[in-house]
Amino acid sequence: MDSTSKSEPKIVKGDYGYILEDVPHLTDYIDDLPTYPNPLQDNPAYAVVKQYFVNLDDTVAQKIVQHKSSPRGTHFRRAGPRQKVYFESDEVHACIVTCGGLCPGLNTVIREIVCGLYHMYGVTRILGIEGGYRGFYARNTVPLTPKFVNDIHKRGGTILGTSRGGHDTSKIVDSIQDRGINQVYIIGGDGTQKGASVIYEEIKRRGLKVAVAGIPKTIDNDIPVIDRSFGFDTAVEEAQRAINAAHVESESVENGVGVVKLMGRYSGFIAMYATLASRDVDCCLIPESPFYLEGPGGLFEYMEKRLKENGHMVIVIAEGAGQELLSESIRSMNQQDASGNKLLQDVGHWISQRIRDHFSRRHKMVINLKYIDPTYMIRAVPSNASDNVYCTLLAQSAVHGAMAGYTGFTVGPVNGRHAYIPFHRVTEKQNNVVITDRMWARLLSSTHQPSFLSLNDIAEDKKEEESTTSMSNGFANGQEDKLVSKESSSTR
Ligand SMILES: Nc1ncnc2c1ncn2[C@@H]1O[C@H](COP(=O)(O)OP(=O)(O)O)[C@@H](O)[C@H]1O
Ligand SMILES: O=P(O)(O)OC[C@H]1O[C@](O)(COP(=O)(O)O)[C@@H](O)[C@@H]1O
Ligand SMILES: [Mg+2]
């Protein structure tokens, strides 16, 4: 990977503690760029909207809950169409790339970028880059038209293909420059957005009139600032099928135990929401909440109690949970994937085996354990109706932003309003479940599982909480109503 110098964040301060964390604009480094009237003003479909264009000064507050005397705080530029655009329709040559793991909705975002560019702005030259970042210099491209993408939202995966690794900034920007591309739409997770950020920096360094727009993708919902990531809703819904199966299997036999492994490398959002939605789960284990097996307050003690009471139980475990326990018993190999993400040990198999061993050895109790691993099935489905609508808004926001000359930004809803967010804000931290939030407390009270926290842990946590301040809010982070203030994100 090339190292390019990083631009300073664009911060604008206003009255009463107002801060705008703005995104770059092509005019920041190119002088005298001509502007054109937005072609949407002549579009009959949008003629009915009273005030269709977004006011240039509109911004979206990051923190929605305010006290009488609190400063106005951080804001982001509101997404949407602007009266003036910086590209003429026939001048635009756009490209779209998808990177990282699969996620429901990728095809919908591709479709809506193509249709948005074509129908709203009259853009006809749109290239699909195949196979992720390395596709810029090592794979084929495919011309994208509304006809070509018409039905793709009904399919899972990405029609463009994806990959991990292979980010070579100068080769990618060479390819952008050689092909005469001037709008780059990059769909991907935290790693992808870091890649998009260095591409933007290199484009700026070369002084190119090329807008770089990121669309955040992560099934794990681990991207901070935005309310939730697309595909997450679908993933939670799809996980219900696996949990239902585990429940049916476990309640049909004596001492039935259903174990379901769900995705979530560092963040347990899918497991937490799937558990809260299902009501059939007796225990949910996530990376953010360390647990232990043996002894008072441990998982085995709880299982014995639950099986005695109810005759069956369901455990949901996120793939990143309990990794520290696994590395104690299995020699950890510290392997990484091509993007540098840690390769996890299979916690589902491990915990199933430990449970079987425990009950046969210690109790001579016959349990009937069924282990279900639906992880890739959940990721590979097409997006549901609500994610489809969400993907459409994301894609259109990205198109409006690029046409308006903004660059180096990620789009996403912040407290329900779509905004342009500078890359560094979505890559500097990770969104994690905060186990001292009301949402996790709701889960504990619905499953009745132990918190696995000793009194010492709680006291230490409290101390830490007192010295940190609240950061995020928003629906899917589930952190809009904190019990106590705590930084909701952590770096990897
Ligand atoms: N720090 C980084 N700088 C540049 N490119 C990166 C960086 N981290 C990851 N990438 C690239 O982003 C792409 C996707 O990253 P990955 O972590 O696999 O998935 P995701 O974007 O879903 O988190 C890969 O092609 C990878 O090479
Ligand atoms: O496709 P792979 O490499 O097996 O990826 C598995 C990982 O991808 C994810 O689904 C999402 O990760 P990314 O957002 O980084 O793509 C994780 O939950 C999971 O650990
Ligand atoms: Mg990632």
Looking at residue 384, its pLDDT comes to 97
pLDDT digits (tens, 9 = 90+) for 8-29: 999 999 999 999 999 999 999 9
Provide ipTM, 2 decimals: 0.98
Angle (nearest 5°) at CA 229 between 220 and 320: 10
- Which parts of 14-135 are beta strand (E)? 18-22, 36-37, 59-61, 73-78, 84-85, 94-98, 126-129
For residue 189 and ligand 1, the question of a CB distance below 6 A is answered with yes
Looking at residue 75, its pLDDT comes to 98
Instruction: Provide block-wise average pLDDT over 10 residues at a time, the chain (492 residues).
Output: 70 96 98 96 81 92 92 97 97 98 98 97 98 93 98 98 97 98 98 98 98 97 96 97 98 97 96 97 97 94 95 97 83 80 92 94 83 96 98 98 98 98 96 94 96 68 52 41 37 32
Looking at residue 466, its pLDDT comes to 55
Looking at residue 480, its pLDDT comes to 43
pLDDT digits (tens, 9 = 90+) for 194-241: 999 999 999 999 999 999 999 999 999 999 999 999 999 999 999 999
190 is in an annotated binding site: yes
263 is in an annotated binding site: yes
Looking at residue 334, its pLDDT comes to 73
- Which residues are placed with Cβ below 5 angstroms of ligand 3, an ion? 189-191
- Residue 220 is among the residues annotated as catalytic for this protein: yes
Query: Distance from the CA of 223 to the center of ligand 3, in angstroms?
Result: 9
Output the residue whose Cα is nearest ligand 2's atom 13.
101
| Ligand 1 atom index nearest CA of 163 | 25
116 is in an annotated binding site: no
C-beta separation of 337 from 280 below 8 A: no
Output the residue whose Cα is nearest ligand 2's atom 5.
101
Ligand nearest to the CA of 342: 2
Looking at residue 488, its pLDDT comes to 40
C-beta separation of 236 from 243 below 8 A: no
Looking at residue 485, its pLDDT comes to 32
218 is in an annotated binding site: yes
For residue 423 and ligand 1, the question of a CB distance below 6 A is answered with no
Query: Distance from the CA of 196 to the center of ligand 2, in angstroms?
Result: 18
C-beta separation of 410 from 404 below 8 A: no
Q: Which residue of the set 220, 227, 387, 437 is catalytic?
A: 220
| Ligand 2 atom index nearest CA of 379 | 10
Domains in the chain, start-ordered, CATH in brackets? 11-228+383-427 (3.40.50.450), 232-381 (3.40.50.460)
